[in-house]
Amino acid sequence: MRSFGTGAALILLAAISTFADTNNVIVVSAPRLDDLDLMAVDTAADVTVIDREMIEQSGAVSVPDLLRNEANVLFRNTTGNVNDGQISMRGFGDNSHLRTLVLVDGHKMNRPDMGRLGWQSVPLSNIERIEVIRGGQNVLYGDRAVGGVIKITTKRGADAGTQLGGSLGSFGYLSGFAGHGGAAGNVDYYVGVDGYESEGFRSNSASRAVTYSGSLVWYGDADTVSLRLSHTDGYFEFPGPLNYTNMMQDATRSNEDNHYSNMEDSLASLIWETERDWGAGRVSSGMNYRNIAWMMGGIEAENRQLGASLGPRVRWGSEEEFLMGGVDLNYDRVNADNFDSQDFSGLRVLTSDAELDRFTYAPYLFAQKDAGLDFVINGGVRFEHARTDNEYRDYEDSQLFPTYMGHRGEYPNPDYKNPPDINPTNSYSGIISKEGWAAELSLVYEFNKSW
């Protein structure tokens, strides 16, 4: 059977991946595969592919569980929640989840507020394939891809049929899914629902989520158009971290009794792909909206996030020799509100709020050439510019509540104002612009093309 598999970098002429503003940090990189299998690139990268058959045979109940067991990806988890975990690739430490790009049907899922990903919004029952690419992937994927890229492709309906499933586990774990897919002419479709609930291994670590998903794909003679939609409602409790002594005494204990989060997560993606005599092209677009409300340490907060992406890409030439160009456009918006409340009055007031808008554009070129004698040379360059408008308003504490509770009961607050004044010391507003570039050049030797 003929395959391309196995390109290993026998000679690495130059591998440069630089992405910074003024510091010019240098990161070693390698060639990689492209997403959606549209424009294949011979690769010397460390790549793991998990297909639908492997997912069904894995026994995993969540994406972190699957990647941990099948791709040897490290997740840090302090809650015991099956869908919780801070991804860690290539040893970037506590903030490694900020340096690994996660794509779902071509759309970035990384949160603009630098929070952890909500893996519950991508249930395993709705995943067709996962590709894990380790190492710097800056030229084709941008600044988030310093540690690697995780690409998730959801189900298409042509061969799905009707599916029902469920499972039971310890600590009150219960899950189930139902889905149906099929084809009508040159269109296939899929609709499904997936849900789970768990009491958790530790105290105050219960969680539950329900995800509704659907897809519609049209196939033409040379074109394909894919529309995919999903919506997740979730609830999660946070027991807090334990030190070594507490863990040895009772690993199931919780240091927090009233820490929790409610989340809504919606995702839509639309992708057009085409194959022509001159090459191939693709335009991918996506949008996601998150509404997160949480309580921690007596502080209540609401966080609304909107993300949009557009990524046209064109390849001139064959899959073996080509010039590829494209541009990634991304927009992120975050609105965050923090609240405080009085136990005796039940009054809830806004203590601070923030707004953030970020726009990023990144044009890039990538080329590949057969150098003969089973050698392939490829490389590319990328420029990226990001502009962030941000504003944070902190309100004067003394003016928030109309009354206070004293030794003799409730009394009026003489400093009360509605709305309260902004604290200029703790508040700020400004615009930040940064730009950088990434480049690489590699020579790859194919040890063999058949097995």
Q: What's the angle, vertex CA 309, arms to CA 306 and CA 312, rounded to 5?
A: 170
End-to-end CA gap in the chain:
7
Q: In which domain, by residue range, is 290 found?
A: 7-446
> Is the residue at 225 inside a domain?
yes
Q: List the one residue out of 205, 267, 201 whose CA is nearest residue 235.
A: 205
Q: Edge-to-edge, what's the strand order for the sheet holding 46-51?
A: 46-51, 127-134, 148-154, 100-104, 107-108
In a domain, 1, yes or no: no
DSSP conformational letter for 323: E
413: DSSP letter = -
The domain tally of the chain equals: 1
Is there a domain that residue 308 lies in? yes
340 is a domain residue: yes
Residue 414 domain-assigned (yes or no):
yes
Answer yes or no: is 136 within a domain: yes
Q: Which H or E run includes 139?
A: helix 138-141
CA gap 114, 101 in Å, rounded: 12
pLDDT digits (tens, 9 = 90+) for 41-71: 444 457 888 888 888 888 888 888 888 888 8
Low-confidence ranges of the chain (pLDDT < 50): 1-44, 451
Tell whether 408 is covered by a domain: yes
| Domain of residue 290, CATH code | 2.40.170.20
Predicted pLDDT of residue 254: 83
Strand partners, 217: 188, 226
Residue 37: predicted pLDDT? 40
Q: Give me the amino acid identity at 141.
A: Y
Distance, in Å, from the CA atom of 200 to the CA atom of 267, rounded to the nearest integer, reads: 27
For residues 226 and 288, give the distance between their C-alpha atoms in angstroms, rounded to a whole number.
16
DSSP labels for 355-392? EEEEEEEEEEEEEEEEEETTEEEEEEEEEEEEEEEEEE
pLDDT given at position 330: 93
pLDDT at 384: 94
Instruction: Tell me which residue has tokens 């990161």.
Output: 27
Does residue 313 sit within a domain? yes
